Amino acid sequence: MTYRHILERIHGNGLWFATCLIPLGLLFVFAYGATNVLAASRESITLAMDWEKSVPFVPNAIWAYVSIFLVFWLPLIVLEREGITWLMKRYVVVTLTACGLFLVIPTAVGFERLDSSVLPSAYAFLHGLDAPYNAAPSLHVAYAVLILGTCARSLAGASRAATITWLVVLAASTWLTRQHQFADILAGALLGGLSSLGNGAGAGSETGCMPVRHMRKYWRA
């Protein structure tokens, strides 16, 4: 894909896409915040396992962790408008389902939070944002599986491999930064995967994603 193609897609759908992200962001803020308030009086559990204590803390993994903000913009240059609309509806499903589970089964991170010299302000923000009852399922992983998985199915070759690699590295970063436990990651992957069922990205019909055969030609241009 050339810069010209990217700019054309941004010019065609950029403003509409950014406008759609605003209510989705507000949904997350209010649903996540309300869950924190409502679950504050409840006792939380942890899904941490003893063997996870040997998992190293990798401060630099925060770079992969914060790449989730780029993930949200990837559909703009990969999917057609119909596919983006479909994906946004599934985002709502993931958000409300996860927040409902946080409320019903409050789960805390069982790791000891360590200070880091790498982006200390970012770690301080994350530690302040995370309440002790929203660990499972990992919304970070659920969003990544939903969005990157959907985009990967609309790509081919090296582009698909790079997107899948991004997904794996991002999911691992939630573990290596001690933001989530293994069970949280699995639960998030399951939620994101189930929410993306029925996606016709490969056919380019159900979600309006660009067909793979067209994507190959598009990315080679």
**pTM of the full structure:** 0.83
Can you give the residue range of the structural domain that contains 66?
A: 3-220
Altogether, the residues listed in the chain come to a count of 221
49 burial type by CB count under 10 A (0-12 exposed, 13-18 middle, 19+ buried) = exposed
Structure confidence at residue 133 as a pLDDT band (50, 70, 90): confident
Residue range 152-177: average pLDDT?
Answer: 93
> Is residue 15 scored above 70 in pLDDT?
yes
Q: Whole-number mean pLDDT of the chain?
A: 82
Look at residue 57 and give its three-state secondary structure. Answer: coil
Would you give the DSSP letter of residue 105? Answer: S
Of the candidates 68, 73, 80, 81, the residue with the CA atom closest to the CA atom of residue 142: 68
CA distance 94 to 90: 6
Domains identified in the chain, total number = 1
**C-alpha triplet 205, 208, 211: angle, nearest 5°:** 65
> Is residue 84 scored above 80 in pLDDT?
yes
Residue with tokens 């509806």: 89
Note the pLDDT of residue 206: 40
> Is residue 99 scored above 70 in pLDDT?
yes
Note the pLDDT of residue 121: 72
Note the pLDDT of residue 129: 66
Note the pLDDT of residue 80: 87
Residue range 4-26: average pLDDT?
Answer: 86
Decide if 138 contacts 180 (C-beta within 8 A).
Answer: yes
Question: Using one digit for the tens of pLDDT, what is the confidence trace for 188-219?
Answer: 999 999 998 875 444 343 444 444 444 444 44
Of 84-93, 126-135, 173-182, least confident by mean pLDDT is 126-135
Work out the percent of the chain whose per-residue pLDDT is above 70.
81
Residue with tokens 């989730």: 68
Note the pLDDT of residue 202: 41
Which residues touch 179 (CB under 8 Å, ≥6 apart)? 65, 109, 126, 130, 138, 140
Structure confidence at residue 4 as a pLDDT band (50, 70, 90): confident
For 92-117, b where at least 16 C-beta lie within 10 A, e where not — what string?
eebbebbbebbbeebbbbbbeeeebe
CA distance 87 to 144: 12
Note the pLDDT of residue 95: 96
Q: H or E segment at 46?
A: strand 45-46
